[in-house]
Amino acid sequence: MSTFGRLVSERASRVDWPAARLEGTSVRNSVTKLGQLQAYFRSRAAFASMDPETVVYRVQWLEPIAAGVEGGLFWGSTTVEPGRVGDEYFMTKGHFHAIRNRAEYYTTVQGEGMLILMDEQGRTRAEVMTPGSLHYIPGATGHRAVNTGMTPLCFWACWPSDAGHDYDTIAAEGFGARVLLRNGAPALVTVADLGDSVER
């Protein structure tokens, strides 16, 4: 083999860009089903009437260095299926990063959605996710992706290898707003307007 042949290699991992799919032997995969999301959706009655085996979202990602080690970057994609629990659209659990000041990028490749963002005081806002939308998620900001469309919502993400995921805060307290079907369209509705109390 020539020197060139030894030094230049095909990368072991590839992206299928428009499908937001990762290919390669070191790709990690997770599937989140409805049954794992009981704490997250507002309507317990609607939730109870649905099949807990329903797939809500899939994540693929690469960890080129160990999780928790400072200095690296992780790269992955998420596909949130279309659907609702009652009037609430399918969504990710959402989390803060365990190391609070760690930021992240999301960019949408397919579908329609909303990215819910919340600071540590509970101030909540949303950005529209549409093909090509680029979302900078600052540190100390909880983030959740919601599929408001009729087709899968697919987006890429890049985050620091030591960020970690704090799911407990969101599982316990939720976000300050939910994305609900209102008058035939998705709307960001605050928990105050819903009459739900959030303790912080």
Residues forming the site for ligand PAN (CB under 6 A): 59, 76, 78, 92-95, 104, 143, 145, 157, 159, 163, 165
Question: How many Å apart are CA 135 and CA 128, to the nearest integer?
Answer: 9
Residues in the chain: 200
Shorter beta-carbon distance to ligand PAN: residue 2 or 188:
188
Buried b / exposed e along 125-134 (16+ C-beta atoms within 10 A): ebbebeeebe
CA nearest neighbour of 108 among 45, 152, 73: 152
* x/- map, 44-83, Zn ion, by CB under 5 A: ----------------------------------------
Stretch that binds Zn ion, among 10-18, 51-59, 104-112, 189-197 (CB under 5 A): 104-112
Q: Report the DSSP beta bridge partners of residue 165.
A: 97
Tokens at residue 36, please?
Answer: 């794992």
Shorter beta-carbon distance to Zn ion: residue 88 or 104:
104
From Zn ion, ligand PAN, none, interface partner of 92 (C-beta below 5 to 8 A by class): ligand PAN
From ligand PAN, Zn ion, none, interface partner of 59 (C-beta below 5 to 8 A by class): ligand PAN
Phi/psi for 170 (5° steps) reads -70, -40
Phi/psi for 33 (5° steps) reads -100, 160
- Give the shortest CB-138-to-ligand PAN separation in angstroms: 13
Interacting residues toward Zn ion by CB under 5 A: 104
